[in-house]
Chains A and B, each alone.
Chain A
Amino acid sequence: MAKYLLLKHYRGGPAAVNDVPMDQWTPAEISAHMQYMRDFAARLEGTGEFVDGQALAPEGTFVRYDGEGRPPVTDGPFAETKDLIAGWMVIDVDSYDRAVELAGELSAAPGAGGKPIHEWLELRPFLSEPPTITE
């Protein structure tokens, strides 16, 4: 088994095919989208491949150490940040091919007009523990 992170971006990836902001969809289209996402996660739980899924608020802060005895420096949020992560799903699957298959399904979630969004999801393998048998 191998763990993969499916990253969804608010921005930073290539534009989706069906790229309409959600507040311009109809309420029924929003419901259909939410249902698809819930069904997807439930199905992965059913197959034993779901690990975790979380959504992130769009605004964040950059923080860094500023030396002994000083409070940390904070900066942001930056309106111009190019890469903005919206959320993630972690899956534990048998192969890279299976991870790609699932990411493709998630990207097919319906959007405006009830058509698939075709949004780009970033697929990143976890760096795992070294195997016991190496020779």
Chain B
Amino acid sequence: MIPEIGLAALWLAAALALLQLFAGLVGSRTETAEIAALARPAAALQAFLCTVAFGALLYAFAVTDLSVKLVATNSHSMKPMIFKLSGAWGNHEGSMLLWITVMALAGGAIALIERRLPEKTMMATLAAQAFVGLGFYAFLLLSSNPFERLVEIPPEGNGLNPLLQDVGLAFHPPTLYIGYVGLSIAFSFALAALLTRNVTPDFARVMRPWVLAAWIFLTVGITAGSYWAYYELGWGGWWFWDPVENASLMPWLAATALLHSASVLAARDALRTWTIMLGVIAFSMSMVGTFLVRSGILTSVHAFAVDPQRGSFILALLVLYIGGALVLFALRANTIAEGERFSALSREGALVVNNIGLTAILGVVLIGTLYPLFTEAFDVRVSVGPPYFNPVSAIFFLPMMLVLMVGPLLRWRNDRAGRLTKPLAIVGVVMVAVLACSLFFDNIGLLPFLGLVLAAGLAVASFAPLFGRALGRTPLTIWGMCIAHFGIAVAIFGMSADTAFQEERLVAANIGDVIEVGPWTGQLQTVNAVAGPNWTAMQANLLMSYEGGAAQEARPQSRNFWTPTMQTSEVALLTRWNGQLYVAVGNQGDDGRWQLRLWWKPFVTFIWYGGLLIALGGTLSLVGRVVGDVRRRRQQASGEKVDEELPEGALA
């Protein structure tokens, strides 16, 4: 019964989306039309119904209702509860239901909260949101019904891919999806702005917090995904330039560019057309990413729930939405008036460099990700990996980082270079000092070397905008900007330090053998069998000590799951402030020795701390913006003089 309720709720929600599309379209033309009043309630009710449907699916997984096909193929009654629940979105149908639920929630949220824009533009936004939603409802209901029943109920389920039975998985996809789908709001705002020819600073101010919120989730999602791949795959890497990773990186790059251009539009009424374009691109990249991941047309270490047949459906949606949006853009872009001017040496100028750099990297990643598809059409099989992505994206990334050190110090519209001599001299000295120190180490690759120097410069420069300010009275948005930029420096430092200084040791060890890697020494104590709820494992017990200090236990496992049958490596991590010891155990050789692989990874954790700092910076900015908006609205309501947005206000 419960699954049928879920399915019914989904159909109802789809019908409401149709109503919302119609009401919104009418309302965007004539504000007074009575039907327009239905658009907002339709969006809100849709959010509720989708939540009901998703709840029904969660319930089916929680009680392991094997009459539901999706549960039977992806779950197992022996699984721990958390993995039963996370199994609900660890498969194609469930993840698409999650997608549509997040999208409905986002649509409901703007319908209920957002009242700052002209009503016509809001109606067009809701219509666009419903239009995008309808395609995904159709996809879900016609080709991937998550509530499909089985005629013959199997005695037991198939289980979930063991690699996915991890706490990281429970939270990673939902986080990423909120980010992906949250960008649909920017897409809808952009379409509405084109439809109603209303591109103003107000438009950017309204769109900005939504983009910022989606961007925060994307940032956290990518950071968590990277850490998950790092400890779950057992290869010691944290970024593989894998299609699925690229699929999450591309919307992030576009959203980052969008955030920055939106703040130019909000503060200075420039870059209008460009901001609209980025709004379209950002969500388009989310859809391209979903297509790549869901269709299974590219090989990936992360792609588990793939189905080629469905690829064509998503491809059709992709062509419809992206193509449609671009056509609308082409038709309407020239009707958007030119914005304000600025000189090359100004905040706007620096942000243009940021935008062009991010877009170029986006292009580089997109081309590299799709290239195997193109060549496959000519029957040439290639794979594109780090030898391509690292240097080519660095060509754009490194100059961008140099501009990032200067940009936040510049004034809007026009500035004098002389004003910046002092802060830039300090940054320069720091960079030269790090450069000199790095020269003492041999064998540092060019990229990690440049990364270390830039990270040091950026770490100092990112707080330069705070110099000379009364810290207590500095707006949260400025703090947010400084912390986010500092997070980039921290992450670059982590990546460079790990690449430059990591040490690896691969041994076949007998019990009692002494093992050394970097500053760590230790001993393989025992290897014993252990069992979990749905796996058995060989566990190696090592005692490792850092520079002769107290011994710490490391217990890597080589696990064998039986539902379905699969071997995974469960690594042991010993974390210190200055890095991580990473231990993986392999198989026993014929001679009785155990294969062990150990890495000392200096400062590797800074990569993810950096990612979290970036997200924290975004959160501070978001809080600052929302608080500012509420205050402004209250002042407006009480008839006081309204504070204008400060032109030197920070980003986002």
Determine if chain A interacts with chain B: no
